Amino acid sequence: MSALPLASTAPARHRSPRPGGSGHAHIAALDGLRGFAVAAVLLFHAGHLSGGFLGVDLFFVLSGFLITGLLLAAAQGGGLVALPGFWARRARRLLPALVVVVVVTVPAVWVLGTTEQLRFALGDLPWVAAQAVNWHYITDRIGYWNASDTRVFAHLWSIAVEWQFYLLWPLVLVIAAWGRHARRTVAALAALGVLASLALMVTLGAAVDTTRAYEGTDTRAVALLLGALAATAPVRDLAARMPSRAADALCLVLVAGLATAWTVTDGEKAPLLFKGGLFLHSLAAAVLITVIAQVPGTRAARIAGSLLPRRLGELSYSLYLWHWPVYLLLLPRLSGLGKWGATAAAVAVSLAAAAVTKRLVEDPVRFRSGWARGRRGPAAVAALAVIGVALWVSIPVPAPGAGTVDIQQLR
């Protein structure tokens, strides 16, 4: 959280229509929280921040909060009729960058990676395409902390969890949002979902192999549903009544708690992680997001909404997609720069790739602008997907046991 002292030039609450005419208010501080979350993940995967993996939970809470707000607005404007449009927007938001990263990564692993990395990449690819790679890892007992250095798509388990949530939660919410007591019904369902998910995590987290608890959609739904609960009217109304001074003090405590968790948590070995630790972290994130969104002018919102974290947050999706393949393929080749020097170089490459992807792919397809107007964007993404299938079919799968022999030796 070293970026916290930077701050105070940008307003805490920058609200403007999103590009592309969706009309939903935009809170810049929430982009900044994404920036802190992705920075934590990047530092964790480079071996510099032991609890930085908790940034993924902050992503989950933010996603649940923002998506539920959109869905509640859709429920008022058409309910089930609005769902196809919602899912289409989610697809435009998530799939273009994902397809580009996959299509570039597979040949890059073929050229630069080890035989083991290539074999696992080709084996994981159909599960990535089905947005179910988390269940693939669970079924094969591929522990997140144990085998991720051989799998260039290991980080996509969290994207799969979010995608599955986006498919199921809208159906529940839109149906629940009908009737006179819709406000309380939606909040109650989200709260019940949180409790059920927490109970599953505690039960399954007691196993020797914690992959099921860590990557299961049902167990990780606790963070997404806490975000959803934070977006419901009863919670928003309660937060909006909080005095500014009390909100500032609460945010300070919450930020300190999150920063401490990211610093001292020791991966899956943390004794309380699956016994309520992940839940408490997500609960603190949900409260922080609620206060920032509902109480204008807090110091936390001004810091999070400042230029650097906000810009990083705007790149966070593509940056998250790119960083792990870049780390696996580049960091071993940069060891001469020292640990921090290698990390800086790998992060710079990841940032550059993310910026290009966002500018040339993400935003044009998402907002139907530039080259992607009309049906050209979806058509281009579909064509890239076909290229990905062709790569999967045509690249020879190395035999098991080939070890870490360089790919060039296969030719």
pTM of the model: 0.90
pLDDT by residue (tens digit) across 197-243? 999 999 999 988 889 999 999 999 999 999 999 999 999 999 999 99
For the chain, what is the domain count? 1
**Does the pLDDT of residue 8 top 60, yes or no?**
no
Structural domain includes residue 409: no
Q: How far is CA 80 from CA 77, 174, 359, in A?
A: 10, 6, 32
Determine the Cα–Cα distance for residues 68 and 64; give it in Å rounded to an integer. 6
pLDDT by residue (tens digit) across 400-410? 755 444 444 43
Determine the Cα–Cα distance for residues 32 and 30; give it in Å rounded to an integer. 5
Structural domain includes residue 19: no
Determine the Cα–Cα distance for residues 156 and 320; give it in Å rounded to an integer. 9
pLDDT by residue (tens digit) across 296-334? 889 999 999 999 999 999 999 999 999 999 999 999 999
| Cβ within 8 Å of residue 107, ≥6 positions away | 391, 395
Structural domain includes residue 50: yes
Structural domain includes residue 61: yes
Structure tokens at 59: 């992503």
Helix (H/G/I), strand (E/B), else coil: 8: coil
| Cβ within 8 Å of residue 10, ≥6 positions away | 28, 302, 305, 306, 307, 310
Determine the Cα–Cα distance for residues 391 and 122; give it in Å rounded to an integer. 9
> Which band of pLDDT confidence, cut at 50, 70 and 90, is reported for residue 21?
very low
Place of tokens 């991720």: 148
Q: How far is CA 33 from CA 163, 242, 309, 363, 380, in A?
A: 20, 21, 7, 20, 32
Query: How many C-beta atoms lie closer than 10 Å to residue 393's C-beta?
Result: 8
Beta partners for 406? Answer: 114
> Which band of pLDDT confidence, cut at 50, 70 and 90, is reported for residue 25?
low
DSSP 399: P
Amino acid at 362: E
HSE, CB side, 13 Å, CA atoms: give it for residue 125: 27
pLDDT by residue (tens digit) across 370-385? 998 988 999 999 999 9
Structural domain includes residue 9: no
Domain that holds residue 128: 28-404
pLDDT by residue (tens digit) across 251-285? 999 999 999 999 999 887 788 999 999 999 999 99
Structural domain includes residue 232: yes
Determine the Cα–Cα distance for residues 173 and 67; give it in Å rounded to an integer. 11
Determine the Cα–Cα distance for residues 15 and 279; give it in Å rounded to an integer. 30
Structural domain includes residue 13: no
- What DSSP element (H or E) covers 95? helix 83-112
On whether the CB atoms of residues 135 and 211 are closer than 8 A, the answer is no
**Does the pLDDT of residue 153 top 90, yes or no?**
yes
On whether the CB atoms of residues 404 and 113 are closer than 8 A, the answer is no
Q: What is the crossing angle of helices 115-129 and 83-112, to 10°?
A: 170
Angle at 176 between CA 231 and CA 163, to 5 degrees: 60
Structural domain includes residue 394: yes
